[in-house]
Amino acid sequence: MSIAVHTQCLICTHTESKSVMRKNNADLVKCTSCGFVYFKQIPSGEELENYYKGYGRNDYLSPITIKRYNEILDKLEPYRKTGKLLDVGCGIGYFLEEAKKRGWQVHGTEYTDKAIEICESKGIQMKKGVLNVSNYTAGEFDVITSFEVIEHINNPLDEVQKFNTLLRIGGVVYITTPNFNSLQRLQLGEKSTVITYPEHLSYYTPKTLSFLFSKLGFKPLDVQTTGISITRIKIATGKSKQQFISKESDDEKLRVKMEENKLLGVAKATANFVLSTLGCGDSLKGYYIKK
């Protein structure tokens, strides 16, 4: 059986790439023009179905995460005009719950019936499956958010074009994704738990994420790379089998200490400033405004 592959870059459509590594019987490549990294193989529907059958959802929600959500919403508040916010791939609606408390009209998309049922029980207006612009009115939203989703898709040009269609002029996208240039990934190489096929198909850096959005009518407002995950490093090196998102993870314990201790909080802020300046933190976070 022949395997479908990409013949051009998913962002700039350049046809030449170089090998980065081979993992999970798939080839990770880097565009020789724009530097975007992606898996060359195109997973079949059967592959994706088999993989995501066992794809769990950890329902632990840290009080610190709720605080971070509200800090994000604080930054989005100046862009409120229609009062409508869309979260693409919203999980079971934790972020949208916080937005709803602040008076936003909240909308979300998800794939599973269970997630949609949970979100709708929270008063979130939901649509099932991929983001479909025909479900909405052009220019309807002030804000579109997408947390840890864009790395799962291999059609980023289509996805960001949909964001452009659905946002009003002056509206904002807030997006997060793993940073391919993180210190952790550079240290761990192919052992990195972030690099996994067919779960993560696309890998971004501050440069390539901003290139993607700029190409489709957006202007970068703020792009940061923050944090280093001790939990991910321990899991990747076989030193721990802890759950990545849990109350007992090393990451969460450290977060709690930093919230409770002012000096540690200052150290964290300083470290994140350095990581963002160098572009090597684990988490890539970007605010982009529609021109």
Tens digits of residue pLDDT in 177-234: 999 999 999 999 999 999 999 999 999 999 999 999 999 999 999 999 999 999 999 9
- Phi and psi for 169 in degrees, rounded to 5? -60, 130
Q: Are 105 and 84 in contact (CB under 8 A)?
A: yes
CA–centroid distance for 9 within its chain: 20
pLDDT score for 3: 82
- Positions in the chain short of pLDDT 70: 1-2, 53-58
Alpha-carbon distance of 11 to 137, in angstroms, equals: 26
pLDDT score for 163: 98
Strand 141-147 with 84-88, pairing: parallel
Strands (E) across 45-139 are located at 84-88, 105-110, 125-128
pLDDT score for 51: 76
CB-count exposure of residue 290 (10 Å: 0-12, 13-18, 19+): buried
Strand 17-23 with 26-31, pairing: antiparallel
pLDDT score for 60: 85
pLDDT score for 59: 73
pLDDT tens sequence across 277-289: 999 999 999 999 9
Domains of the chain with bracketed CATH: 45-290 (3.40.50.150)
pLDDT score for 49: 73
Q: In angstroms, what is the C-alpha Rg of the chain?
A: 19
pLDDT score for 55: 62
